[in-house]
Structure 1
Amino acid sequence: MLMKKYLTPEIKAALEKLTTRSGWSLKKAIRSGVENPDSSIGIYAGDSESYRVFSPLFDPLIRDYSRYDMSGHPSDFSLDGLPAKNLDPEGRFVISTRVRVGRNLAEYAFPPAIRAEDRARMEAEILDVLSELTGGLAGEYHRLSEMTEERRQEMVDGHLLFKQGDRFLESAGVNRDWPQNRGIYHSSDRRFLVWVGEEDSMRIISMQRGADIKAAFIRLKAALDHIHSRLEFACDEILGFHTTCPTNLGTAMRASVHIRIPFLSQRPEFEGLCEKLGLSIRGIHGEHSDPSDGIHDISNKRRLGVTERDIYQTLYRGVETLIEWESNLMGRATSRRQAAA
């Protein structure tokens, strides 16, 4: 766990009596790691100020995880000149593509520390902005507190809606006041979503069936251009966009595919290959879940110190390589079966 690696007795003594304006303390920040010793990170920010007040702990942890020298976070969402063809037009491998970013509003504490009355005000401000979206981004908002259990479960099963936070987020305080002032906005075709009040104040998502990665990125950028013009987000030039979990700092972007690779994923070199490609591996039901029927969730590992353009290239090249390897392994398996027949 990175928190334990860098929480020396000297740093603990220097930080344990400090608090941010929203009341976030070292004890609250590390509570999830203390209660969940299998956590890989073990620390959360309660507000933007956390990254300054507790920087002797956060900074080395961020450098380690993100391989980042704190020299300044760049931004470039242009995709001009990059490959754009659909890598799997027949749908043999890639089931869906999803690109999301996390955002926290500069005015408010983050979900682990926000007060109930502020959560209500923030939800109203976000909905005002989302109501202005037009065209393919226009949609409707559904509050979790007003959903039937059947409707909620249907949306969770369809990978549209977030669930109450897992034990890591529970310990961090993200689930407080559940499910009040939380909800989902989605376009009529459900290719554009905004989660309000999950791990970060907003999770802004572009998703679709198949492997058209560029289309998902372009849709997300169009939405962000409007939302960024109307809301002020917690960010700075060094850490990029501030997020509850320090692993999401920077672009706060996770670009992923659900990809069917049963042959490759059984190979001992699979994890090493993904690491070399700059990719992370999850199960299809999110972090800490397992793969199903050879289907894995594959996404960019780095978010900080890289641009959105870099992330597009990482995912595109990664998916292209995984499909090539899986195709070769499928071909070998077929040849063996034919030879044995």
Structure 2
Amino acid sequence: MTEHQFSSDALSDWMRGQGPDSDVVISSRVRLARNLNHQPFPLLATTTQSNEVLEQLLAVSDSGTLDAHGHFNTILLKDLSELDKRVLVEKHLISPNLANDSRAGAVILSDNEAVSIMINEEDHLRIQCLYPGFQIMESWKLASAIDDSYEDAIEFAFDENKGYLTTCPTNVGTGLRASVMMHLPALVLTSQINRILSAVTQVGLAVRGLYGEGSEALGNLFQISNQITLGQSEQEIIDNLYSVAKQIIEHEKAARRKLMNESFRRVEDRVKRSYGILAHAAIMDSKEAAQRLSDVRLGADLGILSNVPPNVLNELLIMTQPGFLQHRYNEKLSVDDRDYKRAELIREQLNKQGESGGASL
């Protein structure tokens, strides 16, 4: 992988796969937060101390410790443009926090971008593993194995009573954040989503938007994750998320069957109307694009639109984000220019799909 392959392809290689229940679950993610013993947390560290942490952690990866888990490439954030960093955020490969304060930051990416290891983010080390579809158990196994590889080489800040010590108290304990990104259009259309999400929060899980805490649930995409990291084992956290997510999947599929049985013509009209607008609009803001793409993806999953690969829609969702748009056209774009280019790009991609025997109404 070249240093900037992440910015040349909207879809990471891992996103091209089809995991279980991928019609509802876009991706499964596990993230582990760790800090080095005898080093101040990043928020309190001097530049010299941050560089020491960087050197120590890069020495681990350079030693071949991670080779058992794939081939990895190290990217220093100071060597990237602001636009490149924004693309990494839009692809969920680094956090906005790391992009905004990257004086001694780095990211270690696997070739398929399924593993992203952030250095000097809110914590010294954040190990993130992503799988397509509903594979939260598999994500956890890989993250745990990588964590073990690091722990064999360095000493983490750990307390016998509190567990792993982290910058934010909400991560103390296991340091584990597990999440599933779910596409729930039928629950929204049948007005069940608020009841479902309210029940989710009652069992210790959090609901966020596409880009995590504080972000809006654009395109009917909801990120369901654990809130509790202390007082439960890693396996208990994973099992709880798995159980709840499984129930949400069943509710979404039942809602889709209800729509097809009771409101087929309205759903068909909504799907085809959104496809028509995407295929012909001259201007499209990001919020409308996300909603229209959600409608089209629902139509593809329900068989209303034939031969529309979900990957095309996943790719468009990322390609139409502000950073990726500007990187693609190699220029800084105003909001109005982005809306125009976004519509142009969507038209091009859908037309290309149609010419190759793709989408048909």
Q: Normalising to structure 1: TM-score of the pair?
A: 0.67
Normalized per residue, which structure has more helix? 2
The one of 111, 114, 117 equivalent to 1:191 is 114
1:156 maps to a residue whose letter is: V
Higher deviation after alignment, 95-104 or 255-264 = 255-264
Paired residue for 1:320?
A: 246
Distance, in Å, in 2 between the alignment partners of 1:241 and 1:94 is: 30
1:145 maps to a residue whose letter is: K
The one of 87, 91, 94 equivalent to 1:158 is 91
Please state how far the C-alpha of 1:209 moved relative to its aligned partner. Answer: 1.9
Paired residue for 2:79?
A: 146
Superposed, 1:36-55 pairs within 5 Å as none
Distance, in Å, in 2 between the alignment partners of 1:339 and 1:179 is: 51
Distance, in Å, in 1 between the alignment partners of 2:175 and 2:93 is: 19
Q: How much identity, in percent, do the aligned residues show?
A: 29
Paired residue for 1:275?
A: 201
Give the number of the structure with larger relative contact order, counting CA–CA contacts within 8 Å between residues 6 or more apart: 1
* Structure 1 residue 91 corresponds to structure 2 residue 22: yes
Cα displacement string for residues 27-85 of structure 1 (whole angstroms, at most 9, x for unaligned residues): xxxxxxxxxxxxxxxxxxxxxxxxxxxxxxxxxxxxxxxxxxxxxxxxxxxxxxxxxxx
Please state how far the C-alpha of 1:339 moved relative to its aligned partner. Answer: 9.1
Cα displacement string for residues 199-258 of structure 1 (whole angstroms, at most 9, x for unaligned residues): 111111111222122221111111111101111111212211111111111101001011
Please state how far the C-alpha of 1:151 moved relative to its aligned partner. Answer: 2.6
Distance, in Å, in 1 between the alignment partners of 2:26 and 2:206 is: 17
Please state how far the C-alpha of 1:97 moved relative to its aligned partner. Answer: 0.8
Residues 292 and 105 of structure 1: CA distance in aligned 2, closer, same or farther (over 3 Å): same
Contact 2:118 2:125 survives alignment (8 Å):
yes
Paired residue for 2:301?
A: none
Please state how far the C-alpha of 1:262 moved relative to its aligned partner. Answer: 2.4
SS in 1 for 2:44: coil
* Structure 1 residue 329 corresponds to structure 2 residue 226: no
Higher deviation after alignment, 303-312 or 257-266 = 257-266
Residues 338 and 98 of structure 1: CA distance in aligned 2, closer, same or farther (over 3 Å): closer
Please state how far the C-alpha of 1:179 moved relative to its aligned partner. Answer: 2.3
Higher deviation after alignment, 117-126 or 141-150 = 141-150
Please state how far the C-alpha of 1:153 moved relative to its aligned partner. Answer: 2.5
Please state how far the C-alpha of 1:107 moved relative to its aligned partner. Answer: 1.4
The one of 278, 282, 294 equivalent to 2:220 is 294
Q: Normalising to structure 2: TM-score of the pair?
A: 0.64
Higher deviation after alignment, 257-266 or 192-201 = 257-266
Structure 2 unmatched runs, 5+: 1-17, 269-361
Please state how far the C-alpha of 1:165 moved relative to its aligned partner. Answer: 6.3
Superposed, 1:95-134 pairs within 5 Å as 95-131=26-62, 132=64, 133-134=66-67
The alignment's C-alpha RMSD in Å is 2.2
**Residues paired across the two proteins, number:** 245
Distance, in Å, in 1 between the alignment partners of 2:251 and 2:32 is: 29
Superposed, 1:158-307 pairs within 5 Å as 158-164=91-97, 178-264=101-187, 266-267=191-192, 268-307=194-233
Paired residue for 1:64?
A: none
Contact 1:278 1:314 survives alignment (8 Å):
no
1:106 maps to a residue whose letter is: N
Structure 1 unmatched runs, 5+: 1-86, 167-174
Following TM superposition, where does structure 1 have runs of at least 4 consecutive aligned residues deviating by more than 6 angstroms? none
Distance, in Å, in 1 between the alignment partners of 2:71 and 2:209 is: 31
Distance, in Å, in 2 between the alignment partners of 1:199 and 1:306 is: 22
1:96 maps to a residue whose letter is: S
Residues 214 and 134 of structure 1: CA distance in aligned 2, closer, same or farther (over 3 Å): same
